Structure 1
Amino acid sequence: MDTSTLLLVDIVLHQRSLRGAARHSGRPASSIAAALARCESALSTSLCQRAGSGLVFTLEANRLAPSITEAAQVARRLYAPGSDPFLSTVRLQALGRFIEVAERGSIRQAARALMLGQPQLSRQLAHLETALGHTLLERGTGGTELTATGVRLLDDCSRLLQLWGQISRTSEDRFRRAQATVRLGSIMPLGYESEIARQLAKLTASWAITRPKQPLFISSTTAEELLRGLKSGAFDVVLLDTERLPEDLEGAPIVASGLAIVGAKGTDIAAALRDRPIALPSPRSGLRLRIDQLLDMTFSDAERDRLTLLEIDSIPVILNLVLEYGFVSVLPRASVASIRPDLHSIALPSAFDMQYWLCWLKSAGHSAAGIAVLDAIERATVPAPH
């Protein structure tokens, strides 16, 4: 960490925008963004997210803001009047080495303690004095003494390092946790009684027992976003509803679920789909691909054009349209069986069953995570009811 980064991040936290911080500091917006990214990397946490033209700050940013402000105030006091702290940035490591020399009264002894060469340490101290615009040390044959300015700034250097220690105290733990976390992406469960929700609950319970020290993060989205996240590194493992795996993935099927036309009576599949509007997810989901297969097998192109289809990537909204507004949909049978006793449905042939796959990229790191999740699922047992 360095003084310039602390000063710029403090301005961002007060201005609440990158452009405002750029105007206030006279620095380019790109420099502000880079400083914010450096600080977030050092802290292993996010401080803000873009929202339109502004920023939304995290709870962690709000918690750290007072300490960052105090650290920025101390950092400003280190510079001589007229010095530009944005151009003459100083690493906090250099301040720590200055403190070591001040406490030992000798560059040679400090270099030995720091396991540095004496010429190297001397050059770093000279650079520090140039950057701050102050002479901090008087060098003599009997050792090194602090100048009056050096004495005055010594406490500020110590305080700045103490503040940074408080600000970054949990960053190492966060970094280790982030490195150890297995990130699982899943298609969106239909509800708490759906097969996907049951499988994820079993997995989580088993993971907590078998790997209590390794965090598991689970997030739900569409199949298309899951594949994109897997390839970008946002997910280590994903749970997909797909007929077959893409060639660059490997994995295993974990469960299958039959489908039904929900909200329809009788046994005539074509009539059920033709006579009512159909609420269905977008093609970004594996379920939609299966529904399209059903529609292609049931209707000609001309008949398909006459169907009323509404795409909605929200299962709760689809269910409400079925329950309250006379729509039909194609959904997993087990997921809707207990929603309402009078909810009619037509079961589809087993050829339309949905297969759920646990899958990952074909690489050593992803394979290890995938096998660990698969093992936890296979070990999971459903507890007996109380």
Structure 2
Amino acid sequence: MHLGALFITHHVLTSGSVRETARRFQLSPSTVSAAIRNAESELAMKLTERASGELVTLIAGGGVLEGLQPITVAIGELGKLAGHDAGAGTVEAWASRIPVKIVAIERFLEVADQGSINRAARRLHLGQPQLSLQLANLERFLGRRLFERQAQGSVLTEEGRHAYQIFMAISQAWNDLKSAADERYRRTARSLRIGSIIPTGSESWVARCLGLLVSEWNAHRSNNAISLVSMTADDLREALKSGRIDVAILDSVFGLENFRHRELLQTDMVVIAPLESTQTSAAELVAAHAICTPSPRTGLGHAAMVFSDERAPDRRLRSRDITAADSLPVIVDLVANHGYVSFLGRVSAMPIADKVRIVDLDERLPMSYHVAFNHRKAAADACEMIIAAAARMTSEPAAYITKQVDGARETAA
């Protein structure tokens, strides 16, 4: 990483503009953009992004801006050492073009600390001529002699001692930024990312299953921290394919042929309807109410749409149907409070039996949930624990639901 690129990055994060930075330093926009990309690569984080044609500094960029501040101050001091007058307005253009790399600064500091090019070269596993050439290039760039070569070794000149203080400040600030980036990378590499379909609520089998997984996973003191995210089934498939998650709990394995997957549990599809509804069959409910379902691209949504189209092709409330409500809590609210009907697997409907009516279909329509995972051993381990947790959650559904419903009735009373 060059000092010039760090100076450019600091200004972009301050001004929020690549073009303004390019004009100010008389650089091409592509050069400025390349400096930002290099900094993002070195620090393993995204600092900016474009939104509506404008450059937006991300939250992480604010922390990096603060970390770069002592480096830009030190670069100003380096400009003075090199003979640039800050008042003349040329120091910024010079600073944005500094070709000195951080690694060259670290090697200068090593030679100064060791008091010998030979000793420093051995510690750095470099050839002595190579290290001598780098020091000579640094002295040529600054226009100052930094070392006096003596029989006992290399001793810093007065300008060299000044450069040492400047370079030490740059090195410490950069190492602080890099150590934070390295820790982020280690956490990301260790983290096991689990995605699930959006649960109906905290009482749902999905939420309880994941809660049990996290509790038992942490109790075993696994080296892999767990990261949880809920999203639509469509997004889960894309996230698994792109590597953004390692494990996915979803209601269909469509499009996951290249991933290992196992059946998590089987259930029957049921209709959920408002508590005050009076229709006694699924067909009557579908005919008398507007329907809200997830996207047809999901297993649940596809089955629900097929059923509703086949059983009531001439429904009068079809214009009010919602066919892509990919949030189960929203679907439950629409059913409980706004007169809609929807479809769920029985295992998902039972925990909300105090909020909605559960009506069986005229004909049994089986459905199943699956867990898909990638090649990581931790992902396979989590899969086993999820399956065990789901089995535990569904082995006592009647007792659990009775407790939930009775509790709700006591609260209402």
Q: Same fold (TM over 0.5)?
A: yes
Alignment partner, residue 374 of structure 1:
383
TM-score, structure 2 normalization: 0.80
Give the secondary structure class of the aligned counterpart of 1:344.
Answer: strand
Aligned pairs for 1:66-215 within 5 A: 66-79=66-79, 80=82, 81=84, 84-139=94-149, 143-215=153-225
Match of 1:226 among 225, 236, 241: 236
Q: 1:139 to 1:38 in 2, by over 3 A?
A: same
Give the RMSD, CA atoms, in angstroms.
Answer: 3.0
Greater fraction of residues in helix: 2
Is structure 2 residue 263 aligned with structure 1 residue 253? yes
Cα shift at 1:276: 1.7
Alignment partner, residue 55 of structure 1:
56
Alignment partner, residue 326 of structure 1:
339
State the one-letter code of the partner of 1:15.
S
State the one-letter code of the partner of 1:165.
N
State the one-letter code of the partner of 2:40.
E
Give the secondary structure class of the aligned counterpart of 2:302.
Answer: helix
Cα shift at 1:95: 0.8
Cα shift at 1:246: 3.4
Aligned pairs for 1:264-279 within 5 A: 265-279=278-292
Alignment partner, residue 354 of structure 1:
367
State the one-letter code of the partner of 1:36.
I
Q: 1:372 to 1:15 in 2, by over 3 A?
A: same
Q: 1:297 to 1:176 in 2, by over 3 A?
A: same
Name segments (4+ residues, structure 1) moved above 6 Å: none
Cα shift at 1:178: 1.1
Q: C-alpha deviations, 1:197-240, integer Å up to 9, x for none?
A: 12211211121122433111111111111111111111122111
Give the secondary structure class of the aligned counterpart of 1:69.
Answer: helix
Alignment partner, residue 318 of structure 2:
307
Q: C-alpha deviations, 1:236-268, integer Å up to 9, x for none?
A: 221111166732122111123433222254343
State the one-letter code of the partner of 1:153.
A
State the one-letter code of the partner of 2:318.
L
Distance 1:115 1:74 in 2: 28
TM-score, structure 1 normalization: 0.85
Give the secondary structure class of the aligned counterpart of 1:279.
Answer: coil
Cα shift at 1:139: 4.5
Cα shift at 1:147: 4.0
Q: 1:231 to 1:246 in 2, by over 3 A?
A: closer
Is structure 2 residue 357 aligned with structure 1 residue 344? yes
Q: Which runs of 5+ in 2 are unaligned?
A: 85-89, 394-399, 401-413
Q: 1:223 to 1:148 in 2, by over 3 A?
A: same
Query: 8 Å contact 2:286–2:312 — kept in the other structure?
Result: no
Q: 1:283 to 1:12 in 2, by over 3 A?
A: farther
Cα shift at 1:349: 6.3
Q: C-alpha deviations, 1:96-147, integer Å up to 9, x for none?
A: 2112223334322321232210111122223323444544334466643434
Residue range with higher mean Cα deviation, 189-198 or 60-69 = 60-69
Residue range with higher mean Cα deviation, 62-71 or 305-314 = 305-314
Alignment partner, residue 408 of structure 2:
none
Residue range with higher mean Cα deviation, 204-213 or 347-356 = 347-356
Distance 2:235 2:241 in 1: 10
Q: Which runs of 5+ in 1 are unaligned?
A: none
Q: C-alpha deviations, 1:271-303, integer Å up to 9, x for none?
A: 321222111222343321221232354355xx4
Alignment partner, residue 15 of structure 1:
15
Distance 1:211 1:49 in 2: 37
Give the secondary structure class of the aligned counterpart of 2:193.
Answer: strand
Kindly tell me the number of residue pairs found equivalent between the two proteins.
376
Query: 8 Å contact 1:191–1:335 — kept in the other structure?
Result: no
Is structure 2 residue 296 aligned with structure 1 residue 287? no
Alignment partner, residue 65 of structure 2:
65
Distance 1:239 1:69 in 2: 45
State the one-letter code of the partner of 2:300.
L
Cα shift at 1:358: 0.9
Distance 1:318 1:11 in 2: 48
Query: 8 Å contact 1:182–1:369 — kept in the other structure?
Result: yes
Give the secondary structure class of the aligned counterpart of 1:322.
Answer: helix
State the one-letter code of the partner of 2:358.
S
Distance 1:76 1:373 in 2: 52
Distance 2:240 2:140 in 1: 48
Query: 8 Å contact 1:71–1:164 — kept in the other structure?
Result: yes
Q: 1:213 to 1:17 in 2, by over 3 A?
A: farther
Query: 8 Å contact 1:191–1:197 — kept in the other structure?
Result: yes
State the one-letter code of the partner of 1:372.
D
State the one-letter code of the partner of 1:77.
E
Q: 1:41 to 1:207 in 2, by over 3 A?
A: farther
Give the secondary structure class of the aligned counterpart of 1:341.
Answer: coil
